Amino acid sequence: MEYWKDENEPIKMFVKLFEEGFKDADLSGGLKKVNQLIWFDYTQDGPNCSFWVDCRGGDLKTGPGKPADAPDLTMSLSADDAHRSWSNKLNPVMAITRKKIRVKGSATGLLKLAPKLKKVAELYVKVLKDEGKEGIILK
């Protein structure tokens, strides 16, 4: 991994990113419309390198690891490409087309949130700064 010291570090950042995003009315409203259990699978970088986001039924939850229920959508990529994506430096549609992101299930709802990636990237930078990870912020 180019940006992370171990498999747990990116998951800590990404879970915190979503926890912060849940507090934002615009982002949380968009996520609720997705209405899916999503598993972000980065296990190519380590067996524990994954997290989930549950947007079903109007609730928003997230946590490390694989979800207890079968996910509606699985997004598989490397933790480094996830860092690029959350930093708004990797276009998710192009990455799917080029097989950098492998999708299992319908990503239509999630891809509707792509216009909000700039706002997500701003929040991600804040999370990285709060966690002392300024050195990996992509410019």
| pLDDT band (50, 70, 90) for residue 115 | confident
Per-residue pLDDT averaged across 78-106, rounded? 93
Helix (H, G, I), strand (E, B), or coil: what is residue 34?
helix
Q: How far apart are CA 77 and CA 57, in angstroms?
A: 27
Percent of the chain with pLDDT over 70: 100
Per-residue pLDDT averaged across 57-78, rounded? 96
Percent of the chain with pLDDT over 90: 86
Of the candidates 66, 70, 58, 60, the one whose C-alpha atom is nearest the C-alpha of residue 105 is 70
Query: What are the φ and ψ backbone dihedral angles of 26, each rounded to 5 degrees?
Result: -65, -50
Give the model's pLDDT for residue 65.
97
In this structure, the dihedral spanned by the alpha carbons of residues 61, 62, 65 and 69, taken in order and rounded to 10 degrees, is 20
| pLDDT band (50, 70, 90) for residue 110 | confident
Average pLDDT over the chain reads 94
Give the model's pLDDT for residue 107.
85
Handedness of CA 30, 104, 57, 81 (dihedral sign): negative
pTM: 0.93
Contacts of 30 (CB under 8 A, 6+ apart): 112, 113, 116
